[in-house]
Amino acid sequence: MKRPSWLLILVFLLFLLLALMLVRPQTGTVTTTAWETTTLKLVVEQPTTVTSTATETITSTVTVLKTITLRQVDAVCFSKVQDCASLIVSLIDGASRSVYVMMYSFTSDEIANALIRAKNRGVEVKVVIESQQANISGSEYGRLLSAGVDVRLDGNPRLMHHKVAIIDGILVVTGSYNWSRAAEQDNDENLIIIIDPLIAEDYEKEFQRVWAQATA
């Protein structure tokens, strides 16, 4: 039998070496990429809600849901160009349980009349007026007292500058608008009506604080 030549042996060894190099594990740094996706979804319903869904994907998927109820602004009013006093009167006339008022200046006959009507039909009416404004010309302080409305003067040695009414524990009337002829006819004032029990609750807490330090 003929022995394989040295050339064939060399080729075989080279082939074996090449095969070992191809299957040998490679060393180095392995880099992986994590993908992150975020999906936002807006849903408008009654009551209006915003729902956001965040999805983060690495080796698994995690979904987080969050629902926020939007606050409802029922109306806005700008004096001189709109009749804000009539809007306030209509809200007071619609009260069925309570009307709490904190007012810096109060000289509006028609709004005072609405409060007296509310008191006479059994609605709980409480009013705090800034003491420095109680005896100015046209002040409604004395007339409210005479009509049996529960009215007090603010006890803050500085100013009680609120212009707020909380109606039935759910509706807040606020803004720069004093309940006065000047606010309705002369000044540029704003008024906003908010229907939200949580906001009304916060305003009622402030009212109770102011009421507690006020004097009859």
The pLDDT of residue 39 is above 60:
no
Let me know: does 98 contact 167? Beta carbons within 8 Å.
yes
Residue 189: count other Cβ atoms within 10 Å of its Cβ.
Answer: 20
- Specify the pTM: 0.68
What does the pLDDT look like over 151-203, one tens digit per residue?
999 999 999 999 999 999 999 999 999 999 999 999 999 999 999 999 999 99
Question: Among all residues, which ones are annotated catalytic?
Answer: 161, 163, 168
Q: Give the SS3 label for residue 135.
A: coil
SS3 170: coil
pLDDT of residue 216: 81
Q: What is the CA radius of gyration of the chain?
A: 37
- Output the average pLDDT for the chain: 81
Domains identified in the chain and CATH numbers: 39-69 (no CATH), 72-213 (3.30.870.10)
